[in-house]
Amino acid sequence: MPYTRAHVLLFLGPLLLIVLLMYGMMAWTVAISMSDWVGLAPVWKFNGLQNFRTLVVGALQERFFTNLRNNVIWLVVFIVPTASLGLLLAYGLDLSGKAERLFRPLFLYPLTLSFVVTGTVWAWMYDPEAGVINNGLRMVGLGRWAQPWIADPGLATLCLIGAAIWQYTGFAMTLYLAAIRDIPRETMEAARVDGASDVQVFRYVVVPNVGHATMIVTALLILITLKVFDLVWVMTFGGPGISTEVLPFFMFVATFRQQFVGIGAAISVIILIMAVAVVVPYSWWSMRRLQV
């Protein structure tokens, strides 16, 4: 289909303009991270890597590394259970025949909710006094299992992660179910004819054939952990103390609450560096799948 320059401008112009603007804003963030902008109005005094030094070896060192450690905890404790449970559910759904239609939405619906809704509901479930979990445990005589949950600095991050697992397992499940359905039926049937049990089919046929989905799930869940903000804000606001703070949360508080905009931008740049390590390979891979 023939087209002119005017067509290119009309069709691609808006996207290119927006993408250009976004890259410009990224560069802008990098520039701000090297200025000592404090306060509401922009201050463009170049101070090199001073903000990064303040974070990594300076006054904010302890807070920064608490944040970073929590991000690492998120990375490990959120991703592995979400992906494994998603895969298990997907295999279960695949085997459950018609019941799949009943079960699938029950695991997927949390994904449609806002993290703010999830946070509001779960924060209460975890509440040490009024929480549904502790009250439920007491009701069935398991009161000794009651915990301070989000009021305990050692448990709080894990509690937040629990809510996130609840929300994202359906996402992993959906991608894994599609991957399992892409495995040729004959392969599964052949294994069964040879006497393989459900567990053996899972181990030797399903797991080796869903690597593609694992890659997508892992990459996208990593990105979730690099921008987790809403749940922390709503459920604990970083507390008790700063025990549940993560970098995306600290970035917001430093910038918009404390007006250390240069520091906030420096945290953004650190998030950017970590995100690029995932996003660039992912984008490269999805570009290669575009058939043009």
Please answer whether residues 269 and 261 qualify as being in contact, where contact means their C-beta atoms are separated by less than 8 angstroms.
no
What whole-number distance in Å separates Cα of residue 96 and Cα of residue 106?
A: 14
Nearer to another protein, 155 or 272 (CB): 272
Task: State the minimum distance, in angstroms, from the CB of residue 235 to another protein.
Answer: 9
Nearer to another protein, 76 or 116 (CB): 116
Nearer to another protein, 61 or 197 (CB): 197
Q: Which phi and psi (to 5°) does residue 58 adopt?
A: -105, -145
What whole-number distance in Å separates Cα of residue 289 and Cα of residue 215?
A: 15
Q: Which two tokens stand for residue 74?
A: 């998120």
Task: State the minimum distance, in angstroms, from the CB of residue 250 to another protein.
Answer: 10
Helix (H, G, I), strand (E, B) or coil at 290: coil
Nearer to another protein, 77 or 201 (CB): 201
Q: Which phi and psi (to 5°) does residue 44 adopt?
A: -105, 55
Nearer to another protein, 87 or 267 (CB): 267
Task: State the minimum distance, in angstroms, from the CB of residue 62 to another protein.
Answer: 21
The full 3-state SS of 104-131, as one line of letters, equals: HHHHHHHHHCCHHHHHHHHHHHCCCCCC
What whole-number distance in Å separates Cα of residue 74 and Cα of residue 83?
A: 13
Task: State the minimum distance, in angstroms, from the CB of residue 96 to another protein.
Answer: 5
Task: State the minimum distance, in angstroms, from the CB of residue 144 to another protein.
Answer: 17
Nearer to another protein, 114 or 258 (CB): 114
Using only C-alpha atoms, the chain has a radius of gyration, in whole angstroms, of: 23
Task: State the minimum distance, in angstroms, from the CB of residue 243 to another protein.
Answer: 18
Task: State the minimum distance, in angstroms, from the CB of residue 16 to another protein.
Answer: 7
Neighbours of 235 (CB within 10 A): 25
Helix (H, G, I), strand (E, B) or coil at 136: helix
Please answer whether residues 231 and 4 qualify as being in contact, where contact means their C-beta atoms are separated by less than 8 angstroms.
no
Nearer to another protein, 6 or 208 (CB): 6
Nearer to another protein, 28 or 145 (CB): 28
Task: State the minimum distance, in angstroms, from the CB of residue 206 to another protein.
Answer: 13
Q: Which phi and psi (to 5°) does residue 148 adopt?
A: -70, -10
What whole-number distance in Å separates Cα of residue 175 and Cα of residue 279?
A: 18
